[in-house]
Structure 1
Amino acid sequence: SISLNCSGFHGPAEWRVIKKLGLNSTQWETSTRTLYIKPAFKSHSGEYWCEKEDGEKSSTVNITITSGDVILEIPAFPVMEGDNIALGCKKKTIPSSLAADFYKDGHYLETGYVGKITIPNISKSNEGLYKCIFTESQGKSPESWLTVGGE
């Protein structure tokens, strides 16, 4: 199950959760501050944000629903330049202590020998698509986008 909440936004106008449907198409997913998706399916994957009627918007969050059992743990919200971030690779059925290879934009990045790596001093060049693959043929995660914001 997933819960998307716009409660951090203030003002008299109603904030709503929006989902991008296509290149120039969006849809109000709910008219309240919170959207509950239970159960979640692959079709719920996509780009979501909060918006109020006058067009003011929050940052976006990308959500990927997968039927696979390998999950890339990555920040869902934009990270700031200079931050240190951790990425993890885990399986739903076992602890994440297996060695995993991490990739950015399809290129090998690093091996995390306990299923985790740290990327220090993030910059705009770290923005991109990440995935992880367990080195002992235990499967791979779907790709997830890491967004790096400025100061």
Structure 2
Amino acid sequence: MDRHGRSRARRCRSRPHPDGNYHAGRDDAPAVAERCNMSFLAALAGMACLCLSMVRHQRDLLSRQLSPGWRRGLQWTGYGLLLLSFVISLSGGAIPVVRWLGELSLAALAVVALATTAFVLRQRPGGKARSPRAFTREQVRSASRSAQTECFSPPNR
């Protein structure tokens, strides 16, 4: 305590806000949270577009292959949404790039979980859940036979 009875703790040296509040930055917390939500939703939509632009996921989720024009459109839309997510993330808050990378990781994890769940649920009514890329026993046997003949055959000279 000093001679006037005040504590010697460091005081905020910044200029007060026009309304007299020294901590005016905390008043925009709802706006920062809203920007975080918008950034995450844009990243989630972008990741979903990029997921659906891949032929492998089209076969798994849609049971068909989209035309090259649709695939290119989904790719551009996905990249655009990821860029929008980055721009929204930069507009406020502390450590925006790190927060955006975290949101991007969570969005990718959510898309993977949703795509896996959709694939399993899509396969369930027909009986066993089997991936269209899974090999039959005959395909495995023929592949192993060809691999054995390649490995144990004498080299061509």
Q: TM-score, normalised by structure 2?
A: 0.21
- Bigger-Rg structure (1/2): 2
Structure 1 or 2: larger strand share? 1
